[in-house]
């Protein structure tokens, strides 16, 4: 019974930022659960490597280079996904960026715009395109990636925290817009030990402040994303699940 709840056989999943870190873990988890995958990120070669891993698991995969901060790239990504598979059942808006600025006043307009484009504008556009097609068809699932920074903002992360708070709000709005055929939920990760964690992975004070007293391993996102992508969460929509080790 438990296995069938998380079965994704016959489904197609589109994952942005799918070539590394949490995105790659999600892609491989979906493939192991039976889904075919569209792997999207800025670098085609990196996407192709992960696509080959998916194919080695016996599933179909297509690699698409796309910068989600660009409106037209999201349009092309959606069209490429439907051209390849004819459907998208699961959309995961995982791509993001979280650079630190030297200070509030020294945050450049260009940096501010880039952070909002990748973390909010892109997910909005891609969700709008795919969600409307899901709602007009057989339904589906959209999973957004927020951050614990949306709940615990710091002066050094104002644009990023604001963009992720917007993702939380968007999750509720899109759940209303695409109901009842499309469920829209959100995961808010805390500090995970991915390839972008170099600046803080040895920060003992930060680790000690967490409820679980350790940083997350990338594969620890899998249980939550499979839950939200599958029929195991069939009565869950418009919610944000924190997977943060206890960021209080």
- Taking CA atoms, 85 is separated from 2, 13, 25, 148, 212, in Å, by 28, 10, 22, 34, 41
pLDDT of residue 1: 45
Taken in order 75, 78, 84, 87, the sign of the CA dihedral is negative
What secondary structure letter does DSSP report for 118?
I
Q: Identify the active-site residue in 82, 160, 227, 235.
A: 160
CA 74, CA 17: separation in Å to the nearest integer? 13
CA 221, CA 171: separation in Å to the nearest integer? 19
What domains lie within the chain, and their CATH numbers? Answer: 2-243 (3.40.50.720)
| CA of residue 43 relative to chain centroid, distance | 17
CA 81, CA 60: separation in Å to the nearest integer? 12
Q: pLDDT tens track of the chain, all 248 residues?
A: 456 899 999 999 999 999 999 999 999 999 999 999 999 999 999 999 999 999 999 999 999 999 999 999 999 999 999 999 999 999 999 999 988 888 999 999 999 999 999 999 999 999 999 999 999 999 999 999 999 999 999 998 999 999 999 999 999 999 999 999 999 999 999 999 987 766 667 788 889 999 999 999 999 999 999 999 999 999 999 999 999 999 98
pLDDT of residue 248: 84
pLDDT of residue 3: 63
User: Is 160 a residue of the active site?
Assistant: yes
């Amino acid at each position: 019974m438990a296995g069938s709840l998380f079965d994704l056989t016959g489904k197609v999943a589109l994952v942005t930022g799918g070539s590394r870190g949490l995105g790659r873990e999600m892609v491989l988890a979906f493939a192991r659960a039976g889904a075919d995958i569209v792997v999207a990120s800025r670098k085609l070669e990196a996407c192709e490597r992960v696509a080959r891993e998916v194919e080695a698991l016996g599933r179909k995969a297509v690699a698409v280079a796309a910068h989600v901060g660009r409106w037209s790239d999201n349009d092309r990504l959606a069209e490429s996904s439907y051209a390849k598979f004819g459907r998208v059942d699961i959309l995961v808006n995982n791509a993001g960026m979280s650079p630190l600025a030297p200070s509030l006043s020294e945050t450049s307009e260009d940096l501010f715009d880039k952070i909002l484009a990748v973390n909010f504008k892109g997910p909005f556009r891609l969700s709008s395109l795919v969600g409307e097609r899901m709602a007009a068809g057989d339904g589906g699932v959209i999973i957004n990636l927020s951050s614990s920074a949306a709940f615990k903002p710091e002066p050094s992360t104002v644009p990023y925290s604001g963009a992720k708070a917007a993702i939380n709000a968007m999750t509720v709005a899109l759940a209303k817009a695409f109901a009842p055929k499309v469920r829209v939920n959100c995961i808010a990760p805390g500090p995970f030990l991915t390839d972008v964690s170099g600046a803080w992975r040895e920060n003992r004070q930060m680790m000690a402040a967490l409820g679980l007293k350790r940083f997350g391993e990338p594969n620890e996102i899998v249980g939550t994303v499979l839950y939200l992508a599958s029929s195991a969460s069939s009565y869950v929509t418009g919610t944000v699940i924190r997977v943060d080790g206890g960021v209080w």
